[in-house]
C-alpha cells in the first residue's frame, strides 16, 4: 500500500512507535527510526526490519527536546530516504505526581518531548509534503488528549495540546493532499506504562499482573490492553487512500474508555 513512501517515526525504538514502524515497513514504506536505547539492540531491530520488508530503514538518535536538532532529523530523513511523506509524532515520556508536588523540570521535559517536538517536526516536514502534494501526519495523542486523570498534569496538558495542534494543521492543509490526524490509545502495555503498574502493585500489595488487571478495570471497559500491532494497523489506515478525507480527527483506540 505504501511502496515508495518514506516515513519518520519518532520514539520508535520500542513500544507503540516500534509497532507503528513495523506496520509501515510491512506496507513497503521506508522508515527512519528515532529514539533512545542500547545501540546494539537498535541496530538489530533496524537490520531485521530492513531485511524482512525489503525497504530502507535508518536510525537517528536525535534528542527531540532540541528544536534545531529536530530540523536536522527531518533533513536527514529526506536525504537518506529520498523524502518524507509520512510523519508520525509518537515520542513521549511520562511522570506522575500531584500538581503541587510536580517537579518543574519534569513539566518542562514532558512538554518539550510530547508537544513541542511535534510542532518542530511538523513545521519542517510540511514544506516537503507540500512540494509533493501528498502527506500524512499522525500524532500519538493518547486518550489523555481527550480526558484527564489525576497526577498527570504535564502529560494531559501536552496531549490536549497535541490534539489542538492536530486540528490546526488539518485546517491549514485541507484540500492539499496532506492530512493530519491523531490516535488516542487507551492502556497499552508498554515500557511507559509498566512503571505505573509496578507502583500500583506495590501500593496495593498485589502482584504486578493483578495490578495490571485493576488498572484496566478502572478505565477500560473492554478489560483488554490495546496492542502495538493494533495501533500500527490504525496508523497504516490513516496513511491510506481510504482515509484521504479524514483529517483533524483524534481516533480513540481505547476499549471504550472515552465512551463512558
* Residue numbers annotated as active site: 155
CA distances from 222 to 211, 215, 257, 259, 260 (A): 16, 12, 8, 11, 12
- φ, ψ of residue 244 to 5 degrees: the values are -60, -25
Distance CA 45, CA 163 (A): 30
Q: Which helix (H) or strand (E) holds 8?
A: strand 6-9
Enter the C-alpha cell of residue 159. 496531549
Round to the nearest angstrom and report the end-to-end CA distance of the chain: 35
Tell me if 12 sits within 8 A of 58, measured CB to CB: no
Which of 232, 248, 247, 243 has the alpha carbon at shortest distance from 12? 232
Amino acid at each position: 500500500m505504501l511502496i515508495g513512501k518514506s516515513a519518520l517515526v519518532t520514539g520508535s525504538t520500542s513500544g507503540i512507535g516500534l509497532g507503528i514502524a513495523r506496520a509501515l515497513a510491512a506496507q513497503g514504506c521506508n522508515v527512519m527510526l528515532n529514539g533512545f536505547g542500547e545501540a546494539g539492540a537498535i541496530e538489530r531491530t533496524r537490520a531485521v526490519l530492513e531485511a524482512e520488508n525489503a525497504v530502507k530503514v535508518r536510525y537517528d538518535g536525535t534528542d527531540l527536546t532540541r528544536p534545531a536538532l529536530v530540523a536536522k532529523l527531518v533533513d536527514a530523513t529526506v536525504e537518506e530516504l529520498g523524502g518524507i511523506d509520512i510523519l508520525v509524532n509518537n515520542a513521549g515520556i511520562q511522570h506522575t505526581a500531584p500538581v503541587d508536588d510536580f517537579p518543574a523540570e519534569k513539566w518542562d521535559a514532558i512538554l518539550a518531548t510530547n508537544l513541542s517536538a511535534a510542532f518542530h517536526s511538523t513545521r519542517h516536514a510540511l514544506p516537503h509534503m507540500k512540494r509533493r502534494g501528498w502527506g500524512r501526519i499522525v500524532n500519538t495523542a493518547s486518550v489523555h488528549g481527550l480526558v484527564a486523570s489525576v497526577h498527570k498534569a504535564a502529560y494531559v496538558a501536552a496531549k490536549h495540546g497535541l490534539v489542538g495542534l492536530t486540528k490546526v494543521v488539518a485546517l491549514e492543509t485541507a484540500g492539499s493532499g496532506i492530512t493530519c490526524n491523531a490516535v488516542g490509545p487507551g492502556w497499552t502495555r508498554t515500557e511507559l506504562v509498566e512503571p505505573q503498574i509496578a507502583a500500583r502493585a506495590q501500593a496495593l500489595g498485589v502482584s504486578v499482573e493483578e495490578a495490571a488487571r485493576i488498572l484496566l478495570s478502572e478505565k477500560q471497559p473492554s478489560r483488554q490492553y490495546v496492542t502495538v500491532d493494533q495501533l500500527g494497523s490504525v496508523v497504516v489506515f490513516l496513511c491510506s487512500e481510504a482515509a484521504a478525507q479524514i483529517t483533524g480527527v483524534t481516533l480513540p483506540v481505547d476499549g471504550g474508555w472515552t465512551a463512558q
